[in-house]
Amino acid sequence: MSTGPNKSNFDGSENSLPQELQQEMINEVRKLIGPQSGKLAVYCTDASIARYLRARNWHVKKAVKMLNATLKWRTDYKPDEIRWDDIAMEAETGKIYRSNYKDKYGRPVLVMRPSCQNSKSIKGQIKYLVYCMENAILNLPESQEQMVWLIDFHGFNLSHISIKVTRETAHVLQEHYPERLGIAILYNPPKIFEPFYMLGRPFLEAKTANKVKFAYSDDVNTTKMMSELFDMEFVESAFGGKDIADFDIEKYAERMREDDKKTPQFWKNGYITESPLPLEKSNSDADSDEQAKRAEENEEEQQDDDATSSVESLSVKN
| pLDDT tens-digit readout, 176-227 | 999 999 999 999 999 888 877 887 787 788 888 899 999 999 999 999 999 9
**How many CB atoms neighbour CB 80 within 10 A?**
18
pLDDT score at 201:
82
Distance of CA 164 to the CA centre of its chain: 24
Give 81-269's CATH code, choosing from 3.10.20.30, 3.30.70.120, 3.40.525.10, 3.30.160.160.
3.40.525.10
Ranges of the chain with pLDDT below 50: 1-8, 275-279, 284, 286-288, 307-318
| β-bridge mates for residue 265, sequence order | none
- DSSP letter string over 86-142? HHHHHHTT-SEEEEEEE-TT--EEEEE-GGG-----HHHHHHHHHHHHHHHHHT--T
pLDDT score at 243:
98
Give percent above pLDDT 90 in the chain. 68
pLDDT score at 298:
55
How are the residues of the chain apportioned to helix, strand and coil, as percentages rounded to the nearest 5?
60, 10, 30
Cα-based torsion angle of the residue sequence 274, 279, 282, 285 in order, rounded to the nearest 10 degrees: 90
Domain boundaries, the chain: 7-77, 81-269, 281-310
User: Rounded CA gap, 80 and 130, in Å?
Assistant: 9
Cβ(102)–Cβ(282) below 8 Å = yes
Q: Work out whether the CA dihedral 59, 60, 65, 71 comes out positive or negative.
A: positive
Cβ(146)–Cβ(51) below 8 Å = no
User: Given this structure, which CATH class describes domain 7-77?
Assistant: mainly alpha
pLDDT score at 207:
87
pLDDT tens-digit readout, 66-91: 999 999 999 999 999 999 999 999 99
User: Rounded CA gap, 240 and 235, in Å?
Assistant: 7
